[in-house]
């Protein structure tokens, strides 16, 4: 017997200990959109696990998949839907401002290449995530695939990672080979695995998700990323703020145990590197193999301060369109020579926000930050609207995980320059999809959702 349209609309998504009604389109998911969603899942796993950086890299599969994804998004007709949202409009403003600034770049051809290749791929990820996920089931599936991809990346870090410089890295085999970027990827994944832990009722799943979180924290500790350490502290404080009284007691106990474990098992050189966050004292080690790590720790802060000052000067000298997308190193070299130095640092800003400000101007930085803030507000609004409602606990957990992942991204971006990667567009696309798929469910259960 065929189901009526009303019966289809009453179908539910079964989550642990509750039932959450799911908005299913009247015609279901079209064949093109269904195929596009499968392509999206494969794409998400590939770009976050970096599996083809490790194997079959000569086949250029990521580049081919970009083109396949673009074709699927366009054919499905879903390309423009995410750009009609507040987040999408802000992303379009930032993209348009980057394009307007190309004629004023200090190296126009290089800026054109970065915008049409790296940033185009990032915008495509936003369009695919925001357009091809059409119901809450698909959103949850996407999160599971993302979590598995980041767990796979963690396994690659263990298998291919080396500590030749005292910090865990992958010898440029991967997009996340750099210690700071590796730590950022792990931090993005931790909230989603924590959500899996909270949603799981069986002991086995909780044990597995807990082990994954501990493994990611171990990788972060081995990278020696001081920015990641600050991000973990902020994540911990937000978790304490969100938690119940019992949850706070557990977090305090768990945090104490982790701190004791770190003090007991981390190498002295890494602990001294982390201590430089709180002291200007220059530490020394006896092991000659660890001297490079301490030298790096002692000079890193000075280098970051110098680059921060240089980025401020370049932003002031180019207050409208900046020095051009991706051209900070070139402009900083010219600035250093004009200041009487032999040459520039030829390093990035080590700060995403100053990278955007110096390369696209203050207005470009405002557009970029607006995308981040609106994504945070969207996830926070959904979390607040569903918190404390048992029938919406599943959505509340997902919204909190997305919010925490965005918080980790926003914090780590202070310490690395990764403005044009697909990390922010991807999480912004997930925020767009969560709002699109969860809002009808929340409205059914508790009425219209309040504004962010």
355 with 328: CB under 8 angstroms? yes
pLDDT digits (tens, 9 = 90+) for 388-435: 888 999 999 999 999 999 999 999 999 898 899 999 999 999 999 999
Residues ≥6 apart with Cβ < 8 Å to 18:
390, 391, 392, 393, 394
Mean pLDDT (the chain, rounded): 83
386 with 395: CB under 8 angstroms? yes
Classify residue 17: in a domain, yes or no: no
Lowest mean pLDDT among 257-266, 285-294, 440-449: 285-294
The confidence band for 70, taking pLDDT boundaries of 50, 70 and 90, is: confident
State how far the Cα of 381 lies from the Cα of 452, in Å rounded to an integer: 5
pLDDT at 3: 43
Classify residue 4: in a domain, yes or no: no
pLDDT at 12: 38
92 with 119: CB under 8 angstroms? no
Classify residue 10: in a domain, yes or no: no
Q: Which of 26-40, 72-86, 146-160 has the highest average model confidence (pLDDT)?
A: 146-160
Q: Which two tokens stand for residue 94?
A: 């930032």
Closest CA to 314 of 344, 294, 342: 344
Classify residue 451: in a domain, yes or no: no
Over range 31-40, report the average pLDDT.
83
Residue 295, pLDDT > 60, answer: no
Classify residue 101: in a domain, yes or no: yes
The confidence band for 305, taking pLDDT boundaries of 50, 70 and 90, is: confident
Residue 332, pLDDT > 60, answer: yes
Q: CB neighbours (10 Å) of residue 29?
A: 17
- pLDDT > 70: percent of the chain: 83
Lowest mean pLDDT among 9-13, 200-204, 223-227: 9-13
Domain that holds residue 355: 26-446
pLDDT at 28: 46
State how far the Cα of 391 lies from the Cα of 344, in Å rounded to an integer: 58
395 with 368: CB under 8 angstroms? no
> What angle, 0 to 180 degrees and rounded to 10, lies between the N-to-C axes of helices 423-446 and 136-160?
150
Burial class (CB in 10 A: 0-12, 13-18, 19+), 283: middle
Q: CB neighbours (10 Å) of residue 295?
A: 12
Classify residue 179: in a domain, yes or no: yes
Lowest mean pLDDT among 132-136, 255-259, 426-430: 255-259
Residue 21 forms beta bridges with which residues?
12
Classify residue 452: in a domain, yes or no: no
Rg (CA), the chain: 23
pTM to 2 decimals? 0.86
pLDDT at 21: 45
200 with 417: CB under 8 angstroms? no
User: Total structural domains in the chain?
Assistant: 1
pLDDT at 195: 93
pLDDT at 149: 96
439 vs 263, more confident: 439
pLDDT at 299: 62
Classify residue 7: in a domain, yes or no: no
């Amino acid at each position: 017997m065929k189901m009526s349209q009303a019966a289809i609309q009453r179908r539910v998504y079964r989550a642990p200990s509750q039932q959450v009604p799911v908005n299913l389109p009247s015609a279901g998911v079209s064949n093109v959109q269904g195929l596009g969603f499968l392509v999206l899942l494969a794409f998400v796993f590939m770009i976050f696990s970096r599996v083809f950086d490790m194997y079959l890299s000569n086949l250029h599969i990521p580049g081919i998949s970009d083109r396949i994804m673009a074709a699927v998004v366009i054919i499905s007709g879903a390309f423009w839907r995410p750009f009609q949202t507040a987040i999408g409009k802000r992303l379009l403003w930032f993209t348009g401002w980057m394009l307007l600034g190309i004629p004023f770049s200090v190296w126009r051809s290089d800026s054109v290449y970065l915008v049409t290749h790296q940033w185009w791929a990032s915008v495509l990820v936003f369009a695919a995530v925001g357009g091809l996920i059409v119901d809450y089931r698909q959103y949850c599936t996407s999160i599971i695939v993302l979590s598995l991809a980041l767990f796979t990346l963690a396994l690659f870090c263990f298998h291919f990672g080396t500590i030749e410089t005292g910090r865990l890295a992958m010898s440029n085999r991967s997009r996340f080979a750099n210690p700071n970027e590796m730590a950022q990827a792990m931090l993005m994944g931790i909230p989603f695995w924590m959500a899996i832990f909270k949603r799981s009722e069986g002991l086995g799943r909780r044990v597995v998700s807990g082990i994954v979180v501990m493994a990611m924290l171990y990788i972060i500790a081995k990278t020696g990323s001081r920015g990641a350490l600050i991000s973990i502290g902020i994540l911990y404080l937000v978790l304490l703020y969100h938690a119940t009284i019992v949850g706070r007691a557990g977090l305090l106990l768990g945090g104490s145990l982790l701190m004791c474990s770190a003090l007991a098992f981390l190498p002295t050189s890494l602990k001294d590197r982390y201590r430089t966050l709180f002291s200007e004292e220059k530490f020394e080690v006896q092991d000659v193999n660890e001297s490079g790590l301490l030298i790096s720790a002692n000079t890193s802060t000075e280098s970051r301060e110098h680059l921060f000052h240089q980025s401020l000067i370049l932003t002031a000298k180019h207050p409208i369109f900046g020095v051009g997308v991706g051209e900070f190193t070139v402009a900083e070299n010219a600035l250093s020579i004009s200041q009487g130095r032999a040459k520039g640092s030829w390093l990035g800003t080590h700060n995403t926000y100053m990278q955007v400000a110096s390369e696209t101007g203050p207005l470009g930085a405002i557009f970029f930050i607006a995308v981040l803030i609106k994504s945070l507000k969207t996830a926070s609004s959904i979390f607040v609207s569903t918190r404390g409602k048992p029938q919406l606990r599943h959505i509340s957990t997902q919204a909190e995980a997305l919010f925490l992942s965005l918080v980790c991204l926003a914090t780590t971006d202070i310490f690395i320059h990764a403005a044009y990667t697909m990390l922010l567009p991807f999480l912004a696309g997930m925020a767009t999809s969560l709002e699109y798929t969860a809002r009808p469910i929340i409205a059914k259960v508790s009425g219209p959702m309040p504004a962010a």
